[in-house]
Amino acid sequence: MRSYVDLKFGAKTTLYLLTAAGLATAAADSFHSGDTVNFPPTFLNGVVRSSRSLFTITYCVADYKYSLHGVPADSEEYGRVLSEIHLRSARRVLKLCDTNRGFYVKAGQFVAAARQVPREYSSTLSSLQDQAVPCNFKAVKEVIVKSLGKDLTEIFLSFDEQPVAAASIAQVHRAVLKDHQEVAVKVQYPGLEYQVKLDLATMALLSRSVAWLFPEYRFKWMVSEFTKSIASELDFIQEAKNSERAANNFKRNRIVKIPCVYWDFTSRQVLTMQFCEGQKIDDLEYMKQMGISPLEVANALVDVFAEMIFVHGFLHGDPHPGNILVSSEGANGFSLVILDHGIYKQLSEEFRKNYCNLWEALIRLDSQKIQQLGETFGVGKYARYFPVIFTGRTINSKSVLGRGMPPEEKKHLREELKSLKMEDISSFMESLPPDFLTILRTDGLLRSLMSKLGAPQRTRLLTYAKYALRGLSANASSESVNVASRFKTSIKYIQFRIILGVVELASYADEIGRSLATKLRQLMVSARDQIWSFHSLLLSVN
């Protein structure tokens, strides 16, 4: 615990920050409402947004600092108070995102999708996923004309002024080209690049300020990853290239559909692509109407992303429901339309191989190999938590893959986690390679979608394991590997295949057992009802 002098200094610092932020916000709001100060609109808007952010985050820091003061860190009260502060702060951040809109909504979505943040933040900020206010058409038209150098009438036969989708950085309009091809035109909001630079600078400053006031709370890793992702999203030319590369990777996959790009009408701020019909992947009512099985959709979804991670090493980093559509058109009765290719991660070949090896070790529960790979990934002692993060088992678990932890194992894990402090979590996240952070975010979003589709956890686990095996097999077949090494590796793959086969057989038997038990219960209920009806009939006759 800090000394009285430290606390007194911290109190003064926080008070100064709150006062400065409050004055800045008040001043900015007054400038915004009056005409006496002749600042450029983009600059003025930046001042308002930055001041509001400073005030909100400083208020949250003060809440953490003084609400936890004097509460023993190893007590039950500490956990309860901390959860309450998390919830209060998450609501303040949600209000900030709702007020500042645009880029802040994107930042809130990014935090909500990060499995490494407290549950109170992810659940509260998840409401931002479907929030976006479209820009007026006049401003959108100006961006198109300026970017493409032509008026809309020179390019399109028709252009729907009402957007079919609106997100935090752009909106999409339906249109028809001169050759009668129906297209979707994605247009970046005007003035966004300048605004983002200012907002990112504010976010970096806030991150450093929080780390200074609370050394155990370090979020530089999150700000850094978000900065990289937003920078790539602002360049629609790069997004178009990502789209074409992903389409080429899945050119033999009859379920995946990626809209083709019209390069003549694409720039950094305007992306014109093939228009594809479909509904959000979590729209269960649509699937029911179309006779599409949600479980088959879930299987196809996890197949696609497992192949991206373990085989291609080229990963779509933002698979939320709005970016993946289900279409009733396709060879198997449906297809997955993958949109928004702005955020992609090119995994290094070394990382891809090591990640494949990690999943082999996770399936086998090879604790020695997991710890060894933990050293390779730079996380050291925290590697013991990889099984918990990815498979829901502890490193010394004896439970069957995909069935979760038995009560005794959960109790032991809870006791172990009590000893972890925020400093440990910050150190763990800072030590992870950037590739790992992208995978954690994508995996978190996939888990959420799989849950909505009603798929059991073992579907994802077994699929990941199979594609990890494929990823290793592709490497093993390389001509640079000698015959003896290749033979040894092949034996290893056969062993791994047997393990997966046993696990799949156990899962299949488990499903059959549950199905038979359900049918048996139904038969017993039916028999009981018939006996009761017969008994009632006899009574009525007598």
In a structure prediction context, what are the per-residue pLDDT tens digits for the chain, which is 542 residues long? 333 333 333 444 444 444 444 434 433 343 334 433 333 455 566 667 777 887 887 788 788 878 888 888 777 788 888 889 989 998 998 888 888 776 777 777 777 776 667 788 888 887 776 556 778 899 999 999 999 999 999 999 999 999 998 877 889 999 999 999 999 999 998 877 777 777 777 777 777 776 666 666 666 666 676 777 777 788 999 999 999 999 999 999 999 999 999 999 999 999 999 999 999 999 999 999 999 999 999 999 999 999 999 999 999 988 888 899 999 988 788 999 999 999 899 999 999 999 999 998 888 888 899 999 999 988 888 888 888 888 887 877 766 665 667 777 777 777 776 666 666 666 777 777 888 888 888 888 898 899 999 998 888 888 998 899 888 876 544 444 455 555 555 566 566 666 666 655 655 555 565 556 565 666 665 655 565 565 555 555 55
For residue 518, give the 3-state DSSP assignment: helix
Question: What are the angstrom distances between the C-alpha of 358 and each of 122, 285, 331, 425, 449?
Answer: 27, 38, 34, 21, 24
> What are the backbone dihedrals phi and psi of residue 27, each rounded to the nearest 5 degrees, phi first?
-65, -45
Please report where in the chains the tokens 């109407």 appear, as a residue: 289
pTM of model > 0.75:
no
CA 296 to chain centre: 21
What residues are paired with 108 via a beta bridge?
A: none
Separation of alpha carbons 243 and 251, rounded Å: 12
Please report where in the chains the tokens 């928004």 appear, as a residue: 340
pLDDT at residue 292, as a whole number = 95
pLDDT at residue 412, as a whole number = 74
Four-CA torsion 235, 238, 244, 245, nearest 10 degrees? -140
Q: Look up residue 400 and give its DSSP letter.
A: P
Q: Which helix (H) or strand (E) holds 199?
A: helix 192-213
Question: What are the angstrom distances between the C-alpha of 12 and each of 5, 51, 72, 490?
Answer: 11, 19, 23, 65
Question: What are the angstrom distances between the C-alpha of 148 and each of 39, 269, 423?
Answer: 30, 9, 50
> What are the backbone dihedrals phi and psi of residue 413, each rounded to the nearest 5 degrees, phi first?
-65, -45
Helices and strands, number each (H, E), in the chain: 20, 11
List active site positions.
318
E-strand ranges in 77-127 read none
> What are the backbone dihedrals phi and psi of residue 485, each rounded to the nearest 5 degrees, phi first?
-65, -40
pLDDT at residue 242, as a whole number = 96
Separation of alpha carbons 226 and 229, rounded Å: 5
Structure tokens at 307: 């192949």
Structure tokens at 233: 């999203």
